[in-house]
Amino acid sequence: MLDERKLDVLRAIVEDYVATHEPVGSKTLVDRHNLGVSPATVRNDMAALEEEGYITQPHTSAGRIPTDAGYRLFVDKLSTVKALSPAEKRAISSFLVGAVDLDDVVRRTVRLLAQITRQVAIVQYPTLSRSSVRHIEVVTMTPRRLLLVLITSTGRVEQRIVEAPDDVDEQLIVDLRTRLNSALTGQRLADAATSLESVTETFAPADRPLVTAIVTSLLETFTVEGEQRIAVGGAANLTRYGDDFERNVKPVLEALEEHVILLKLLGEATNPQTLTVRIGHENPYEGLATTSVVATGYGSKSEALATLGIVGPTHMDYPSTMGAVRAVARYVSQILADS
Amino acid sequence: MLDERKLDVLRAIVEDYVATHEPVGSKTLVDRHNLGVSPATVRNDMAALEEEGYITQPHTSAGRIPTDAGYRLFVDKLSTVKALSPAEKRAISSFLVGAVDLDDVVRRTVRLLAQITRQVAIVQYPTLSRSSVRHIEVVTMTPRRLLLVLITSTGRVEQRIVEAPDDVDEQLIVDLRTRLNSALTGQRLADAATSLESVTETFAPADRPLVTAIVTSLLETFTVEGEQRIAVGGAANLTRYGDDFERNVKPVLEALEEHVILLKLLGEATNPQTLTVRIGHENPYEGLATTSVVATGYGSKSEALATLGIVGPTHMDYPSTMGAVRAVARYVSQILADS
DNA sequence: GCTTGGCACTCCCGAGTTTCGAGTGCCAGT
DNA sequence: ACTGGCACTCGAAACTCGGGAGTGCCAAGC
């Protein structure tokens, strides 16, 4: 159905369209890429490709542009992820080295990713449930109000306010802090839930109301998926979408503010070897019909802590973008592993 | 020079232009607002206003639009801040009630402000130096690496990683934590610097290197202005700038990512009674020539903790926007005072 | 049978032209 | 000092129109 040359033609069309953002015709195609055939032949191939739904004409007597399916085929079969140049690699590592805490790592990563892909970058903070407890702190703010602070192995710090049922006995707090830490430190958050219950049981019934309040709140902190944090950067790159701002850019800006949507866009975290690419209507969000997402997981080799990626127009340079996303994910994984 | 009626005309021009975003002519002006005079008279007044630099014509034979100076006069002399409707007030308080921690308060505030002003909202986190120390935590992460966590009276949690000069003696850490807390708790960050020094002196010379490292880092955390955090929201409202996206919107998007610039835009924190309005070129940032900022402080009545505000096109509805910003600042101040 | 040159056809794009009307400035009259 | 009248300006929108890029199809050629 689609022989080798037709695929070459499709590849050439995608590359040309990505470079120029203009419909590409048979003549210009043979001129620019040296396919060894005549425009007429290319035209026949184009007709076939259009028949199959990989390319389309904006109007009669215009060149062709790739459809979402065309990009999909291009990404899956017709291109290879482009490795970064040594200079770029050096730039990445020098940019990331010297981050002082997790927030800083994430901020730098977003900035870096936006800069080298020239797209909008999205970085998800390491998922709580896959990290482990480093330390738990209980601080009295007012006699009836406590602040819980959870520090995880990934350096993430979570805080939460708890209203106490009664005025708080300071000695009890000290006691609780000690027991919580000895019971939970080092445990994965996912496993910590069960340990928490047993801690409750070691307290006298009189102290139970307070202890339960705290434990419950802690439990929420451990499990709440809604608390997923996300950083976004490089929104200024949206200017390069072309025109029809209202239809193309506005929905993206709106999506960028809805972290729930972003999480869906990024999708399941995969390991840094695997890149997820969602093209146009493949996205789980209406309004991003002209938008693609390139994402991958980061964290350890075997298991991803969280996801990062970029959002850009479907007519992006996939090989370079994918290379950049993968490279950044790897470097971030490395930085996190070191600390 | 400018009698009462000329000012009326200017007011009418601003209001009309803000509503329609189109140059306004003498005829339409008398039609829409009932000034008791003829178009010809208005034309004379317009000529005078143009002479004084308050309005301008995009081209001959077009209506007039206000200049930055025109808006300035409008804001200073010709308009009153518009109070919010009871329904809006209810919406604000119900939106802000139920925030679980400081982060949540700020996030909700940004969202709220963006929503009711339909502009881009900016909220600065409460300034560190004006709050006081609630608690200091020192956590060992690896034998050579410590995590400092500072909890302030405003509920803000700051973290910082410290590399220890030697492997850490756990007992020393406990000791240090105790002394730090008893010396600093309740002190304002601004004053804490001096207390920190005296704490150092209570330690044996052998322990000094580590103590100094920690104290130094803590000191930085207290004072660093660069660590000012800022939240931004409502970028999708930028779509309503009109066209010439490249010139108007791009610089704003870029500025929104540079928190240093945003801080300059917001300017000095004032108390919630005073609204700061910067119009067009008055902004300390080139590229925001078509942009205005409306900002005010929030915190206690007497002293502002930080600043919040909005960024939007110069042709915004100043009375409503100013009313909304002021109202939100007051409600946030109240929420923070309660907690 | 695939490829190719030729050819008629389509139709978008940009330049040039025209018209239209909102808006202006000025002046004379009240 | 205000107003009605009037000539003038000039951008926006509508329209026209040729050029050219691109297409599909067909018959000839390798």
Cα–Cα distance measured from residue B337 to residue B339, given in angstroms and rounded to the nearest whole number: 6
Chain A residues lying within 8 Å of B159, measured CB to CB: 101-103, 151, 155, 157
Which of B65, B53, B74 shows the shortest CA–CA distance to B7? B74
- Rounded, the Å distance between the CA of B62 and C1' of C17 is 22
User: What's the gap in Å between the CA of B123 and the closest CA on chain A?
Assistant: 15
Nucleotides of C under 7 A from a protein CB: 3-6, 9-12, 21-27
Q: What is the 3-state secondary structure (H, E, C) of chain B?
A: CCCHHHHHHHHHHHHHHHHHCCCECHHHHHHHCCCCCCHHHHHHHHHHHHHCCCEECCCCCCCEEECHHHHHHHHHHHCCCCCCCHHHHHHHHHHHCCCCCHHHHHHHHHHHHHHHHCCEEEEECCCCCCCEEEEEEEEEEECCEEEEEEEECCCCEEEEEEECCCCCCHHHHHHHHHHHHHHHCCCEHHHHHHHHHHHHHCCCHHHHHHHHHHHHHHHHHHHCCCCCCEEEECHHHHHHHCCCHHHHHHHHHHHHHCHHHHHHHHCCCCCCCCEEEEEHHHCCCCCCCCEEEEEEEEECCCCEEEEEEEEEECCCCHHHHHHHHHHHHHHHHHHHHHC
Nearest CA in chain B to A254: B236
Please tell me the predicted confidence (pLDDT) of residue A224. Answer: 62
Q: How many alpha carbons fall within 13 Å on the CB side of residue A242? A: 14
- Do the Cβ atoms of A134 and B149 come within 8 Å? no
CA distance to A30, A136, A164, B339, per residue, from A143 (Å): 79, 20, 8, 12
Residue A165 structure tokens: 């049922």
Cα–Cα distance measured from residue B253 to residue B241, given in angstroms and rounded to the nearest whole number: 12
Residue A104 structure tokens: 């800083």
Please tell me the predicted confidence (pLDDT) of residue B119. Answer: 96
Of residues A193 and A287, which shows the higher confidence score?
A287
Which of A139, A176, A183 shows the shortest CA–CA distance to A157? A139
Cα–Cα distance measured from residue A148 to residue A202, given in angstroms and rounded to the nearest whole number: 20
Position B204, amino acid: A
Residue B193 structure tokens: 């610097």
- Rounded, the Å distance between the CA of B67 and C1' of C30 is 36
Which of A95, A114, A96, A90 shows the shortest CA–CA distance to A338? A96
Nearest CA in chain A to B107: A257
- Most confident among A94-98, A167-171, B310-314 (mean pLDDT): B310-314
Residue A122 structure tokens: 């999205």
Nucleotides of D under 7 A from a protein CB: 2-5, 8-11, 20-26
Cα–Cα distance measured from residue A144 to residue A163, given in angstroms and rounded to the nearest whole number: 6
Cα–Cα distance measured from residue B308 to residue B109, given in angstroms and rounded to the nearest whole number: 9
Please tell me the predicted confidence (pLDDT) of residue B224. Answer: 62
Q: Cα B321 to chain center, whole Å?
A: 13
Instruction: Compute φ and ψ for B183, nearest 5 degrees.
Output: -80, -35
- Do the Cβ atoms of B101 and A236 come within 8 Å? no
Cα–Cα distance measured from residue B258 to residue B150, given in angstroms and rounded to the nearest whole number: 25
**Nearest CB to B160; choose among A101, A160, A257:** A101
Residue B316's pLDDT band, with cuts at 50, 70 and 90, is very high
Cα–Cα distance measured from residue A311 to residue A329, given in angstroms and rounded to the nearest whole number: 15
Please tell me the predicted confidence (pLDDT) of residue B90. Answer: 93
For the whole model, what pTM was predicted?
0.83
Please tell me the predicted confidence (pLDDT) of residue B212. Answer: 87
Do residues B17 and B24 lie in contact, with contact meaning Cβ atoms separated by under 8 Å? yes
Cα–Cα distance measured from residue A322 to residue A10, given in angstroms and rounded to the nearest whole number: 19
Chain A residues lying within 8 Å of B101, measured CB to CB: 159-161
Position B126, amino acid: P
Please tell me the predicted confidence (pLDDT) of residue A267. Answer: 86
Cα–Cα distance measured from residue A135 to residue B163, given in angstroms and rounded to the nearest whole number: 18
CA distance to A78, A102, A325, B237, per residue, from A81 (Å): 10, 29, 10, 36
Long-range contacts of B74-79 (CB under 8 A, 24+ apart): B74/B10, B74/B11, B74/B14, B74/B318, B75/B277, B75/B279, B75/B318, B75/B322, B77/B7, B78/B7, B78/B10, B78/B11, B78/B14, B79/B11, B79/B318, B79/B319
Cα–Cα distance measured from residue A151 to residue A10, given in angstroms and rounded to the nearest whole number: 51
- Do the Cβ atoms of A249 and B257 come within 8 Å? no
Q: Is B119 exposed, middle or buried (0-12, 13-18, 19+ CB in 10 A)?
A: buried
User: What's the gap in Å between the CA of A48 and the closest CA on chain B?
Assistant: 39
Please tell me the predicted confidence (pLDDT) of residue B339. Answer: 61
Residue B74 structure tokens: 């409008």
Please tell me the predicted confidence (pLDDT) of residue A230. Answer: 92
- Angle between the N-to-C axes of helices B86-96 and B318-338, in degrees from 0 to 180, rounded to the nearest 10: 40
- Rounded, the Å distance between the CA of B243 and C1' of C14 is 22
List residues in chain B touching A: CB distance below 8 A: 100-103, 134-135, 137, 139, 141, 145, 147, 149, 151, 155, 157, 159-161, 233-236, 238-239, 243, 245-246, 249-250, 253-254, 256-257, 339
pLDDT greater than 90 at residue B120: yes
A146-182 pLDDT tens trace: 888 888 877 778 888 888 888 888 888 888 888 888 8
Residue B231's pLDDT band, with cuts at 50, 70 and 90, is very high
Of the candidate ranges B38-42, B218-222, B320-324, the one whose mean pLDDT is the lowest: B218-222
Of the candidate ranges A13-17, A294-298, B83-87, B298-302, the one whose mean pLDDT is the lowest: B298-302
Cα–Cα distance measured from residue B137 to residue B177, given in angstroms and rounded to the nearest whole number: 6
Mean pLDDT of B241-265: 86
The percent of residues above 90 in pLDDT, for chain A, comes to: 48
Nearest nucleotide to A44 by CA–C1' distance? D24
Both ends of chain A: CA-CA distance in Å? 53
Residues 6+ apart with CB under 8 A from A57: A23, A50, A63, A64, A65
Residues 6+ apart with CB under 8 A from A23: A17, A57, A58, A62, A63, A64, A65
Please tell me the predicted confidence (pLDDT) of residue A89. Answer: 93
Position A187, amino acid: Q
pLDDT greater than 60 at residue B288: yes
Cβ of B66 < 7 Å from strand C? no
pLDDT greater than 70 at residue B142: yes
